[in-house]
Structure 1
């Protein structure tokens, strides 16, 4: 499995629009755990007890725990996760803003990998530098249930370039099931494609046109650009673009297979 896709998909099956019941989502995660594309299982702190009730004997479940309450809830979240033998705490994901980032920096445990979800308008050289100084990572929301939840290609390009130039790894979440940028015929929302983001990250590293990479809706051309990324550049791309949360693991893999970017179906 190429380094470009390894661990790229964080399993967010229990979140909208998937809304898979926790027991079913955990069962499916364990069944596909051998897939090299799969990252951690994502669970929110308010659903922690639901998750605990599903845990059985066997290897600990790698969990990225989202903390929607922000900095005040971080210490308790860490205590709960560390106290549960059936869980391996892979990461915390905590919302903040430019104005509350300093409080979050004080609350986090440097030994726990932490992604800070900032609105894309708050992803600036200054906030990225603050994340880098604190040893934190960046999380960017790229979709949702309303049009305003989707940054356009210029807005997302600005955030990606700031992260790459600031040396801060990032993950994305929401709206990235499809590999190629497209307009959803049901909602009219413009969705970013995760293959576009791979190409855009490569261009950010090499001084190319990041906005154009994110805007491209030609699947053949985008897939060809991805295929040109060699192993050395792929390692640098994935150092920055770590993963994205998806409520469907099947759809992104189907997309990679469709575009001829996987030598075989890894499921």
Structure 2
């Protein structure tokens, strides 16, 4: 286990909780889960922000429907989050060209993310949802060690290779002593857009197995649904565009469980009594 005790954390004044949404590999829908989780939490009345830390493939701007070329305002030498659908967002895509790939080595990328996180005026937030880069390399480890993360959500699909990488992600967070809130199994079943027939095209039971092995919870199964993809491409996350859709209901259930975890985390924090002499 890697102790975080001697590692200085970034100062994030005004932010009560930080939730990392992570995956061991790309292509499992981590960013879609991140944005819909953030919006579902906001719909419960929480003040929520989104940090797009996926430095090599930032997509939160597009998922939130922000036009290409969106740039944040600057006030008092601090970046101002760009607001969409009621949540403030900051992304590397806002400060670099969307059509130019970020070709940076680990230390440079980590430094850029540090600036993006600490030089943004987030204001008072109940939750900052961090869309982590996929994988378990230097950037992910630096973020996990330096950001005061309350807990992590692991996104996977039922495929064996995705589950293997999800296990690696859980192990990384455990080594840096960050609680894993639970697992989201995305693309659990394919839903036919014509007849509604469902089929587990990528297998079944994988998410439950990983959750059981690591004594964590399976937060929910998300379907591979055409509507989710279409609304994401249109910049209208399913939780906002179709709040009664089955996928939206799953996201809301996930948000409820995350919110319960955050409340428990506060109640379990040590209480310091200050006595007058």
- Length-normalised TM-score, structure 2: 0.38
Higher helix share: 1
- Length-normalised TM-score, structure 1: 0.40
**Bigger relative CO (Cα 8 Å, ≥ 6 apart):** 2
